[in-house]
Amino acid sequence: MTKSRDPEEPSIERRRFLQHGTLAGAAAIIGSSASDKSQSQEITQETASRPVAPVMTAEDEAAPPAHAQVMSADERSGSDFMVDVFQSLEFDYICANPGSSFRGLHESIINYGGNEHPELITCCHEESSVAMAHGYFKAEGKPLAVMAHGTVGLQHAAMAIYNAWCDRVPVYLILGNHNDAALRRAAEWYHGVQDAADMVRDYVKWDDTPWSLEHFAESAVRAYKVSMTPPMAPVVLVVDGHLQEAPIPIDSGLHTPKLTIPTPPQGDSGAVEEAAQMLVNAEFPVLVADRAARTPEGMFLLIELAETLQAAVIDGGSRLNFPTRHPLNQTHRAGNGAPPINREIISQADVILGLEVMDFWSTVNSLRDQLHRSVSRVAKPDAKLISITTGDLYIRSNYQDFRRMQEVDLAIAADAEATLPALIEAVKRLSTRPRRRVFEARGEKLAEASRLTEENTRIAASYAWNASPISTARLCSEIWEKIKNEDWSLVSSYYSDGGGWPRRLWDFDKPYQWLGHAGGGGIGYGAPASVGGALANRRHGRFSVSIQTDGDLMYAPGVLWTAAHHRIPLLSVMNNNRAYHMEMMHVQRMCNARNRGVDRANIGNELVDPNIDYAQMVRGLGVYTEGPIDNPVDLGPALERAIAVVKRGEPALVDVITQVR
Amino acid sequence: MVMKRICLIMLTAGLVFGLSISKLFAQGNNGQDHFLVFGCGACHGIQGEGTVLGPSVAAGALSVDEFISYIRQPTGSMPMYPPDTLPDTMIQEIYDFVTPEVQQQSLAGRVDIGEQVYRSKGCYQCHANEGQGGAQGPRLGPNPISFPRFSWYVRNPNGGMPPYTEIVLSAQDLADIYSFLEERLEPPSLSDIPMLLL
A549 contacts on B by Cβ (under 8 Å)? none
Q: Residue A141: how many CA atoms within 13 Å on its side-chain side?
A: 8
Spell out the residues 6+ positions from residue B149 whose beta carbon is closer than 8 angstroms to its own. B60, B61, B102
Per-residue H/E/C for A529-561: HHHHHHHHHHCCCCEEEEEEEHHHHCCCCCHHH
Whether A640 has its CB under 8 Å from any CB of chain B: the answer is no
Mean pLDDT for the stretch of residues A360-388:
92
CA distance B129 to chain A (A): 6
pLDDT in tens, A479-509: 999 999 999 999 998 666 667 899 999 999 9
A385 forms beta bridges with: A352
Q: Which residue has the higher pLDDT, A494 or B172?
A: B172
Cα distances from A12 to residues A5, A113, A182, A265, A648, in angstroms, run: 12, 30, 8, 52, 54
Decide: helix, strand or coil at residue A206.
strand
Q: Is the pLDDT of residue A12 over 50?
A: no
ipTM of the complex: 0.82
The single-letter DSSP state of residue A222 is: H
| pTM across the whole model | 0.84
Secondary structure (3-state) at A141 = coil
Long-range contacts of A82-86 (CB under 8 A, 24+ apart): A82/A108, A82/A213, A82/A216, A82/A220, A82/A239, A82/A244, A83/A108, A83/A109, A83/A112, A83/A113, A84/A256, A85/A216, A85/A217, A85/A220, A85/A221, A85/A256, A86/A113, A86/A118, A86/A145, A86/A220
Q: In the predicted model, what is the mean pLDDT of residues B152-179?
A: 91
Per the document, the length of chain A is 661
User: Mind listing the pLDDT tens digit for each residue in A159-202?
Assistant: 999 999 999 999 999 999 999 999 999 999 999 999 999 999 99
- Is A230's pLDDT higher than 80? yes
pLDDT value of position B57: 74
**Structural domain boundaries in chain B:** 30-98, 104-182
**Residue A283, burial from CB neighbour count under 10 angstroms (0-12, 13-18, 19+):** exposed
* 3-state class (DSSP) for residue A606: strand
Angle between helix axes A416-430 and A269-281 (nearest 10 degrees) is 60
Q: What value does the mean pLDDT take over residues B159-181? A: 93
Q: How far is Cα A119 from Cα A164, in angstroms, rounded to an integer?
A: 22
Q: What CATH number does the domain located at B104-182 have?
A: 1.10.760.10
Interface contact A317, partner B, CB < 8 A: no
C-alpha dihedral, B96 to B100 to B106 to B108, nearest 10°: -100
φ/ψ of A266, rounded to 5, equals -100, 150
DSSP B151: H
B30-98 and B104-182 in the same fold: yes
Amino acid identity at A443: G
| Residues within 8 A of B (CB atoms), A 35-94 only | none
B166, closest residue in chain A (CA to CA):
A595
What is the β-pairing status of strands A172-177 and A145-149?
Answer: parallel
Q: A328: closest CA among A352, A310, A346?
A: A310
pLDDT in the model for residue A148: 98
* Percentage above 90 pLDDT, chain B: 32
Cβ burial A600-620 (10 Å sphere, 16+ → b, else e): ebbeebeeeeeebebbebbee
3-state secondary structure A269-306: HHHHHHHHHHHHHCCCEEEEECCCCCCHHHHHHHHHHH
Model pLDDT for residues A520-543, shown as the tens digit of each residue = 999 999 999 999 999 999 999 999
A609 contact partners, CB below 8 Å, separation of at least 6: none
Q: Which residue of A has its CA nearest to B161?
A: A589
Spatial distance between the Cα atoms of A161 and A147, rounded to a whole number of angstroms: 13
Mean local confidence (pLDDT), A399-408: 96
- Determine contact: B136 vs chain A, CB below 8 A: yes
Q: Is the pLDDT of residue A615 over 80?
A: yes
Q: Which band of pLDDT confidence, cut at 50, 70 and 90, is reported for residue B128?
A: very high
Q: Where does the pLDDT of residue A553 fall: very low under 50, low under 70, confident under 90, or very high at 90 and above?
A: very high
pLDDT grade for B63, boundaries at 50, 70 and 90: confident
Q: Where do runs of H (alpha helix) occur along B57-165?
A: 64-72, 88-98, 111-120, 124-127, 147-155
> Facing residues of A387 across strands?
A354, A411
CA distances from B17 to A339, A571, B5 (A): 39, 53, 15
Separation of first and last alpha carbons in chain A: 60
Nearest residue of chain A to residue B163 (CA atoms):
A592
> What is residue B39's predicted lDDT score, i.e. its pLDDT?
75
Residue A256 contacts B where some CB pair is shorter than 8 Å: no
Indicate yes or no: CB of B135 within 8 angstroms of CB of A500: yes
- Dihedral sign, Cα of residue A67, residue A69, residue A70, residue A76: positive
Question: Which helix (H) or strand (E) is A156 found in, with range?
Answer: helix A152-166
User: What does the mean pLDDT of chain A come to?
Assistant: 91
CA distances from A250 to A111, A254, A256 (A): 16, 10, 15
Question: Could you report the per-residue pLDDT of A35-56, keeping only the tens digit for each?
Answer: 444 444 444 455 555 666 667 7
Q: Among A365-369, A650-654, B24-28, whose mean pLDDT is lowest? A: B24-28
Tens of pLDDT, residue by residue over A573-609, are 999 999 999 899 999 999 999 999 999 999 999 999 9
Q: Does A600 touch chain B (CB under 8 A)?
A: no
φ and ψ at residue A576, rounded to 5 degrees: -95, 90
Q: What are the pLDDT digits (tens) for A122-162? A: 999 999 999 999 999 999 999 999 999 999 999 999 999 99
A326 Cβ contact partners less than 8 Å away, ≥ 6 residues apart: A303, A306, A313, A450, A509
Homologous superfamily of B30-98: Cytochrome c-like domain (1.10.760.10)
Q: Do A464 and B159 touch (CB under 8 A)?
A: no
CB-nearest partner of A368 from B53, B160, B169 = B160
Give pLDDT, residue B138.
87
Spell out the long-range contacts of A357-360 with Cβ–Cβ below 8 A and sequence spacing 24 or more: A357/A288, A357/A289, A357/A290, A357/A291, A357/A316, A357/A387, A357/A389, A358/A166, A358/A290, A358/A291, A358/A316, A358/A318, A358/A391, A358/A401, A358/A403, A359/A290, A359/A403, A359/A404, A360/A288, A360/A385, A360/A387, A360/A403, A360/A406, A360/A408
Closest CA to A650 of A544, A558, A556, A553: A544
- Examine the pLDDT at B4 and tell me if it is beyond 90: no
So what's the pLDDT on residue A50? 63
Rg of chain B on CA atoms, in Å: 19
DSSP state of A351: E
Residues facing A470 on adjacent strands: A658
Contact B133 A463 (CB under 8 A): yes
Indicate if the pLDDT at residue A6 is higher than 50: no
Q: Lowest mean pLDDT: which of A49-58, A197-206, A366-375, A504-513?
A: A49-58
pLDDT of residue B40: 81
For residue B112, with 0-12 CB atoms within 10 Å meaning exposed, 13-18 middle and 19 or more buried, which class applies?
A: exposed
DSSP letter assigned to residue A574 = E
Distance from CA of B109 to the nearest CA of A (A): 20
- Look at residue B47 and tell me whether its pLDDT is greater than 60: yes
Residue A34 clears pLDDT 70, i.e. is over it: no
pLDDT (0 to 100) of residue A282 = 98
pLDDT of residue A435: 98
Predicted confidence at residue A630, as pLDDT, reads: 97
Tell me, yes or no, if B130 comes closer than 8 A to chain A by beta carbon. yes
pLDDT tier for residue B77 given thresholds of 50, 70 and 90? low
Q: Given pLDDT bands bounded at 50, 70 and 90, which one contains residue B148?
A: confident
Q: How do beta strands A235-240 and A624-629 pair?
A: unpaired
Closest partner residue to B167 among A343, A378, A595, by Cβ?
A595
Question: Considering chain A, what percentage of its residues have pLDDT values greater than 70?
Answer: 90
Is a pLDDT exceeding 70 seen at residue A21?
no
Closest chain A residue to the Cα of B126, Cα to Cα: A661
Note whether B70 contacts A: Cβ–Cβ < 8 A.
no
Strands A365-368 and A374-377: antiparallel
Q: Cβ–Cβ of A336/B135 closer than 8 Å?
A: yes
Q: In the predicted model, what is the mean pLDDT of residues A249-254?
A: 94
> Using 50, 70 and 90 to split pLDDT, how confident is the model at B37?
confident
Could you report how far apart the first and last alpha carbons of chain B are, in Å? 34
To 10 degrees, what angle do helices B171-182 and B111-120 make?
110
Q: Do A581 and B125 touch (CB under 8 A)?
A: yes
Q: What's the pLDDT score for residue B15?
A: 32
Chain B residues touching A467 at Cβ < 8 A: 129-130
Tell if the CB–CB gap between A337 and B187 is shorter than 8 Å. no
